[in-house]
Amino acid sequence: MSEENHFHSFQQQVGDLLLRHRSFLDVTSKFQESNARINRALMKAVTDCGCIEVEARRQSFPKAASVSEWKEQLKTHLSGELCDHCLDVVKSEMGKNLFYLTALCNLLDIRLLDVIKQESNNLSTLGVFTLR
């Protein structure tokens, strides 16, 4: 099955399964809640499990450095790796988030693949100038 077919199939599955929260308001609030659950799962990986750690400091952007050198010097502020349990939880929460994003696409008659393609084109066109 091609990637395009996977996206179409997934979007169709979401449309078929979304029964309880068909309201735009319900889907939007569930999407926001799923974002919070991802954040909560990540925070628990730090504070409960300890498999990852956060050590944050101000990022410095050397004026003489090129953008490619910035990538090497800028930090993620993360150390460690998600353990199997935390990884499963985070992936599960991300899946629910993707479900509600797709449900929102369905309600607005937007193809998820079109959103991804458009964003990919923007990134390709603007490159590092997007600076997100």
Tell me how many helices (H) and strands (E) the chain has: 5, 2
What tens digit of pLDDT does each residue of 8-27 get? 999 999 998 887 668 999 99
- Top CATH class of 15-124 equals mainly alpha
Q: What is the 3-state secondary structure (H, E, C) of 3-58?
A: HHHHHHHHHHHHHHHCCCCCCHHHHHHHHHHHHHHHHHHHHHHHHHHCCEEECCCC
Domain ranges for the chain? 15-124
Matching residue, tokens 């004026």? 63
What tens digit of pLDDT does each residue of 73-109 get? 777 889 999 999 999 999 999 999 999 999 999 999 9
Angle at 17 between CA 5 and CA 21, to 5 degrees: 125
What tens digit of pLDDT does each residue of 41-64 get? 999 999 999 999 999 888 877 777
